Amino acid sequence: MKVFLAEYTMAHDPGLAPEGAAMLGVLKGSFERCGYEVVIPGGGEFAEEIRHLAPGCDAGLVIAPDHLLFRYTSLLEQLTHNIGCGSMNAAVCAHKRRAAAILSRHNIPVPEEGAKGRRVLKPEQGCGAQGVRLSSDEPGEGEFAQEFIDGEHLSVSLVGSRLVGNACSYYTGKAPLLLAVNRQHIGIDAGGRFHYLGGETPVVHPRHEEIVGTAVQALNVLGCQGYCGVDIVLSDRPYVVDVNPRITTSLVGIAACMEEEIADILVAASKGGGPDKVHLSGRVRFDNQGRVAQL
């Protein structure tokens, strides 16, 4: 069995490359332990690498900034079995303003758009904290403004199952699998710019059910499959500030604590199956370069 892991940033985005390398390293190790031959791009033009390598593999996964996921995942889906989020759902999540509006219409708490005074300005399409800043300025081209929520920064790592069935009968797969609740370390510099600094996992939180329930609702509403990270600011309610339909840096910490192999989980979920829970032991801190330390 061959699996194609198409990681974008290592060859094409130096700023995000250390995180990309760390995520790829965790996935590659897991698939190899599960008996797969791992195929990765060689650093050429990314779409051409996918066209060339994906057809010879039994499954594939794109790891890339959100705004690029639709383009490359839709290409991968034409060539092999995708074990990540579907391209159309990834496209919805990548448009941060549109995704927030959808969640709001389904009564999932999100920061209010267009708040006055000091608020969060963010790109309509972006990755993580890049381009996000605290300001009283008007949004620029391609940006929108949301209310600043003062609270605890968390993320919830989930794996959504694929829809399974046949031409006459379709039914949903398993409920999303919770991997872990993670604490996020977010810095705000003197210019108001947000910086993702890493995090800790797993987090045992007194409001666990509320946090996880909100994240699962968001995942279901946006139709995400595969590994997804739901970013939350916890205040009077858990406010969903981002849904990442892809592998996130939190995986490097989760994998260091998890008994199960993420490779097995992703493949099983892509066919509507997988475990009902995972087993975690210990607790780790990870930085924005993907380096992990025991706590």
**Span 186-234, pLDDT tens digits:** 999 999 999 999 999 999 999 999 999 999 999 999 999 999 999 999 9
Count CB atoms within 10 A of the CB of residue 259. 8
Residue with tokens 């690498």: 49
Average pLDDT over residues 151-162: 96
The string over 115-148, giving b where at least 16 C-beta atoms fall within 10 Å of a residue's C-beta and e elsewhere, is: eeeebbbbbbbbbbbebbbebeeebeeebbbbbb
User: What is the reported pLDDT for 117?
Assistant: 79
Any idea what DSSP says for residue 114? T
Share of the chain above pLDDT 70, in %: 96
Distance, CA of 28 to CA of 33 (rounded, Å):
9
Q: Which runs of consecutive H residues, i.e. helices, occur in 34-175?
A: 46-53, 66-77, 87-94, 96-105
Average pLDDT over residues 46-56: 98
Distance, CA of 252 to CA of 231 (rounded, Å):
16
Find how far residue 148's CA is from the centre of its chain. 22
First to last CA, the chain: 36
Q: In order of start, what are the domains of the chain with their CATH numbers?
A: 2-89 (3.40.50.11770), 149-294 (3.30.470.20)
* pLDDT higher than 50, residue 169: no
| Contact status, residue 222 vs residue 102, Cβ threshold 8 Å | yes
- CA neighbor of 231 nearest in space, from 209, 199, 257: 199
Distance, CA of 228 to CA of 209 (rounded, Å):
18
Q: For the whole model, what pTM was predicted?
A: 0.94
* pLDDT higher than 50, residue 167: no
